């Protein structure tokens, strides 16, 4: 993990990569629950597991927090900070390791239905895309990531995390949809 790379400006190709990641993961996430009824969305695959609705709510509220931090909590990048871009690209979207979400990311029934949650997700994702389009200092600034295990990240790393987090939860929704409980009507 090189600190030097975090001082380099983001090239147009790297901005395009972020925009591609954000666009593709948006579509993948939305497609993961397309056609799921509100009734089905509340079925949990097992005790203590999240339903499709809870997963969508979690992803949506965490993405809103991450984008808010990008827009309000950025500061100059700490000298010598490690570059974790490749690690985030490789591992953040994986479901191979379960991670407990902090309390603020826990689903609590904030949305009445999947359509409302999807609208909030789309708005948060559009804000992330706009942020990439309007900012050049993506490696020169840092923000605190909402998960304490991650810590402070460059703005570029946060944007990778946003895209990969949606991929991770699209996979989770596919797992839920393949469970016997999902097919049982409430």
Residue-averaged pLDDT of the chain = 90
Q: Is the pTM of this model over 0.85?
A: yes
Classify 152 as helix, strand or coil. Answer: strand
Region 65-72 average pLDDT: 95
pLDDT recorded at residue 92: 79
- List, in sequence order, every beta strand (DSSP E) within 74-159: 75-76, 141-144, 152-154
Domain ranges of the chain: 4-183
Contact yes or no for 28/165 (Cβ under 8 A) = no
Q: Strand order in 141-144's β-sheet?
A: 75-76, 141-144, 152-154
> Which homologous superfamily does the CATH classification assign to the domain defined by 4-183?
dinb family like domain (1.20.120.450)
Q: What is the pLDDT of residues 129-155, one digit of tens each?
A: 999 999 988 999 999 888 777 889 999
Where does residue 109 rank: exposed (0-12), middle (13-18), buried (19+ CB within 10 A)?
exposed
CA distances from 154 to 69, 81, 123, 165 (A): 11, 9, 22, 16
DSSP state, residue 81:
P
List, for residues 153-169, the tens digit of each pLDDT value: 999 999 999 999 999 99
């Amino acid at each position: 993990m090189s600190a030097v790379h975090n001082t380099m400006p983001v090239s147009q190709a790297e901005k395009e990569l972020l925009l591609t990641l954000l666009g593709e993961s948006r579509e993948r996430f939305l497609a993961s629950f397309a056609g799921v009824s509100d009734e089905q969305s509340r079925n949990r695959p097992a005790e203590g597991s999240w339903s499709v609705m809870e997963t969508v709510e979690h992803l949506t509220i965490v993405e809103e927090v991450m984008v808010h931090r990008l827009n309000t909590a950025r500061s100059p990048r700490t000298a010598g900070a490690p570059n974790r871009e490749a690690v985030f690209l490789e591992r953040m979207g994986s479901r191979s390791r379960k991670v407990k979400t902090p309390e603020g990311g826990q689903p609590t029934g904030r949305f009445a239905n999947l359509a409302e949650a999807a609208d909030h997700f789309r708005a948060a994702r559009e804000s992330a895309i706009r942020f990439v389009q309007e900012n050049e200092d993506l490696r020169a600034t840092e923000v605190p990531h909402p998960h304490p295990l991650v810590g402070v990240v460059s703005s570029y790393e946060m944007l990778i995390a946003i895209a990969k987090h949606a991929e991770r939860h699209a996979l989770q929704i596919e797992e839920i949809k393949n469970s016997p409980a999902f097919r049982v009507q409430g």
